[in-house]
Amino acid sequence: MTLPSAFDEMHFPMSRAFIDRKRKEFIEAHLRKSDAICDIGNQGKDIPDLDGYPLVTLDITDATGPDIVADITMTNPGISDGRFDAVLCTEVLEHVVDPFAAVREIRRITRPGGVIFFTTPLNARIHGPVPDCWRFTEFGLRVLLRDFDIVAFDKLNTPDRNLFPLHYSVIARRRAEDAPESDPRALRFSKVD
């Protein structure tokens, strides 16, 4: 087992508090008790803020008893298009083999106008479950989520380390079916000071 470093000991609780706070804000601002909600990669975690909501859990393995066993990087014919009003994808994108495919499938299973809550680390050590494949900057996340409207984009800054946040939180809204896909090459380049 890998022993946590002093950096981990100091920053892991900050990241956990950030994720919990942002999830609670998302739930309070964007979810209704009548919404069909999917929590991807839940791993059997009890989320008290979601008590009373019609929650469907999805995971790649049946080890923790999810409602749906599926690989979010593939089209899952057992999940209808637009089935969910809201999707939570917390601490998952860094573990998927193909994040672009995962985001496409999340878009497919979310109804037009539905909301998605993402969190992902940037400044964190490799962690389980493995594989732990990716770290995304703000710019990378914006490319991944280019076919969504960004409702809120927040970061948890690393103390005393400018331009290397610990964590990101994104709330995105699925665009209407007829919205044109965005060109990822449309990013504008500018100098970082």
pTM of the model: 0.91
How confident is the model at residue 44, as a pLDDT?
Answer: 82
How confident is the model at residue 128, as a pLDDT?
Answer: 84
How confident is the model at residue 114, as a pLDDT?
Answer: 98
**What would the pLDDT profile of 1-28 be if each residue is shown by its tens digit?**
578 889 989 999 999 999 999 999 999 9
Mean of pLDDT over the chain? 92
CATH number of the domain at 36-174, please?
3.40.50.150
Higher pLDDT, 48 or 68: 68
For residues 85-104, average pLDDT? 97
Higher pLDDT, 133 or 188: 133
Given a cut of 70, whether residue 184 has pLDDT beyond it is no
Given a cut of 70, whether residue 178 has pLDDT beyond it is no
Confidence bin at 111 (pLDDT 50/70/90)? very high
Long-range CB contacts (within 8 A, 24+) of 38-43: 38/68, 38/83, 38/84, 38/86, 38/87, 38/88, 38/109, 39/87, 39/88, 39/90, 40/72, 40/87, 40/88, 40/89, 40/92, 40/106, 41/72, 41/89, 41/90, 41/91, 41/92, 41/95, 42/66, 43/129
Given a cut of 70, whether residue 96 has pLDDT beyond it is yes
